[in-house]
């Protein structure tokens, strides 16, 4: 059961919070209530609850001060702020210090429920990952556990992505990811065949199996199991099979690399790691990179981001970043900036425009930032560059 503390200097708000949700159905117990900031701070230190819903402006101690205490003492408490409309900017600033979310009074049931569900996902996912990573560290420190205890000398890593997750908002993405992760964990526990953990929007599985069980067949069974139990389709990259725990990290990297090439064969749900990469795949990768760079060159004026470009080719943003740098030798942001700077120079050589106009023409909304970036690139501001060109 999760623990919750609520604090507000208005009694009516505390009563409303108690009744707004069916806390027991969410497996949450309200372990404390406070009417001022100092009392709330003491109770959080003493109880270290999973969640705390705090009024951002309370007597004796502000919600932000309490949040700083939580951070300094490294407490597990996830803080959710309540604020009035006039404190909206203050509440936004508090998010920068690590608050989970903020809600504007009067609190709406659906909004609070969404925040709480998201917090539960975050807590459970962190706990689940810790168990899996502790297990992986244990295996690395004592490789014989893998053979003697599990009696499965072979290991194969899987990298898993939920289809369509790139199109979801952040909150829904986390819920779906956690749902699939828990389903995988349930299957692995049931069959005693490995561990799973999530990282940067992707799920990784370390399958433990003997030589009579092909990882491809186990993976197909896992794909079917997830679809039947969650209604979600997944794409899987399969790393190389290793016979000792020392090769696991390489298998994980290979599984991720295999998944990164999935757009080449979009109709396949399972992608095996292959080295060396076949010539036709290399050709298609080069073609894909050319498509991306051509897209940037044609649309540099628009609000292009790594995330929007990744979605365009149905790739996870985290791994699109790795993929792009691997095949171009530069990161996405630097490449986009290079194109925009080159276009700015072309314009300066042929047109007489002001700096703010030039910034807009090459995709920058902030003229000052654009000017600073231009000077870092060419050693002169756009104005200085224009004057220099007139002299030569």
Q: What is the DSSP string of 281-348?
A: HHHHHHHHHHHHHHHHHHHTTS---HHHHHHHTT--HHHHHHHHHHHHSS-HHHHHHHHHHHHHHHHH
Confidence (pLDDT) at 144: 44
241-269 mean pLDDT: 75
CB 293 within 8 A of CB 299: no
Point out the least confidently predicted range of 40-44, 196-200, 376-380: 196-200
Share the mean pLDDT of the chain. 80
Distance (Å, whole) CA 236 – CA 158: 6
Distance (Å, whole) CA 119 – CA 121: 5
Distance (Å, whole) CA 32 – CA 36: 12
275-315, pLDDT tens digit by residue?
A: 544 555 566 677 778 888 988 998 999 888 888 887 776 66
CB 101 within 8 A of CB 81: yes
pLDDT band for 392, please (50, 70, 90 cuts).
very low
132-159, pLDDT tens digit by residue?
A: 556 555 555 554 444 444 444 688 889 9
Confidence (pLDDT) at 284: 64
Considering the chain, what percentage of its residues have pLDDT values greater than 90? 18
pLDDT exceeds 80 at position 362: yes
Q: What is the DSSP string of 51-100?
A: EEEEESS-SSS-HHHHHHHHHHTT--PEEEEEE-GGGHHHHHHHHHTT--
Choose from 218-222, 245-249, 332-336, 377-381 the range with maximum mean pLDDT.
332-336
Point out the least confidently predicted range of 118-132, 259-273, 282-296: 118-132
Choose from 43-52, 143-152, 212-221 the range with maximum mean pLDDT.
43-52
Point out the least confidently predicted range of 82-91, 187-196, 336-345: 82-91
Instruction: Write out the two tokens for 162.
Output: 């939920």
pLDDT band for 340, please (50, 70, 90 cuts).
very high
Considering the chain, what percentage of its residues have pLDDT values greater than 70? 77
Confidence (pLDDT) at 307: 82
Neighbours of 293 (CB within 10 A): 15
pLDDT exceeds 60 at position 318: yes
Distance (Å, whole) CA 156 – CA 240: 6
User: What pairing do the DSSP bridges indicate for beta strands 2-7 and 51-55?
Assistant: parallel
pTM of the model: 0.47
Distance (Å, whole) CA 152 – CA 155: 8
Confidence (pLDDT) at 146: 44
User: What pairing do the DSSP bridges indicate for beta strands 101-104 and 78-83?
Assistant: parallel
181-185 mean pLDDT: 82
The region, left, alpha or beta by phi > 0 then psi within -120 to 50, assigned to residue 330 is beta
Handedness of CA 180, 185, 186, 190 (dihedral sign): positive
**Residues in CB range of 391: below 8 A, 6 or more apart:** none
pLDDT exceeds 60 at position 67: yes
Query: Domains of the chain, with CATH numbers?
Result: 2-107 (3.40.50.2300), 143-272 (3.30.70.270), 276-392 (1.10.10.60)
Confidence (pLDDT) at 153: 64
Neighbours of 152 (CB within 10 A): 17
């Amino acid at each position: 059961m999760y623990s919750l503390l609520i604090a507000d200097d208005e009694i009516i708000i505390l009563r409303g919070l108690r009744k707004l949700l069916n806390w027991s159905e969410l497996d949450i117990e309200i372990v404390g209530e406070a009417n001022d900031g100092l009392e709330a701070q003491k109770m959080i230190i003493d109880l270290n609850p999973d969640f705390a819903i705090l009024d951002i402006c309370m007597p004796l101690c502000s919600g932000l001060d309490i949040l700083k205490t939580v951070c300094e003492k490294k407490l597990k408490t996830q803080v959710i702020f309540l604020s009035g409309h006039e404190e909206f900017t203050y509440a936004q600033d508090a998010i920068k210090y690590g608050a989970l979310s903020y809600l504007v009074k009067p609190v709406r049931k659906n909004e609070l429920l969404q925040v709480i569900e998201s917090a539960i996902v975050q807590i459970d996912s962190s706990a689940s990952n810790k168990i899996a990573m502790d297990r992986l560290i244990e295996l690395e420190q004592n490789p014989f556990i893998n053979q003697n205890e599990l009696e499965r000398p072979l290991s194969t890593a899987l990298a898993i992505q939920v289809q369509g997750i790139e199109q979801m908002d952040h909150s829904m993405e986390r819920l779906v990811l956690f749902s699939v992760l828990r389903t995988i964990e349930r299957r692995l526990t049931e069959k005693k065949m490995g561990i799973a953990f999530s990282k940067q929007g992707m799920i990784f599985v370390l399958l433990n199996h003997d030589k009579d069980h092909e990882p491809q067949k186990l993976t197909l069974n896992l794909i079917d199991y997830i679809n039947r139990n969650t209604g979600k389709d997944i794409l899987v990259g399969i790393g190389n099979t290793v016979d000792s725990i020392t090769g696991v990290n390489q298998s994980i990297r290979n599984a991720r690399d295999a998944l990164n090439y999935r757009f080449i064969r979009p109709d396949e749900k399972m992608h095996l790691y292959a080295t060396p990469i076949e010539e036709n795949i290399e050709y298609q990768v080069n073609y894909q990179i050319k498509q991306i760079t051509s897209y940037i060159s044609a649309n540099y004026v628009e609000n292009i981001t790594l995330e929007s470009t990744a979605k365009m080719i149905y790739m996870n943003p985290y791994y699109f970043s790795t993929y792009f740098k691997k095949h171009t030798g530069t990161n996405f942001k630097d490449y986009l900036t290079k194109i925009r700077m080159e276009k700015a120079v072309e314009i300066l050589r042929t047109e007489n425009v002001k700096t703010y106009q030039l910034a807009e023409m090459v995709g920058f909304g902030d003229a000052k930032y654009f000017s600073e970036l231009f000077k870092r690139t060419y050693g002169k501001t756009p104005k200085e560059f224009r004057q220099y060109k007139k002299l030569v």
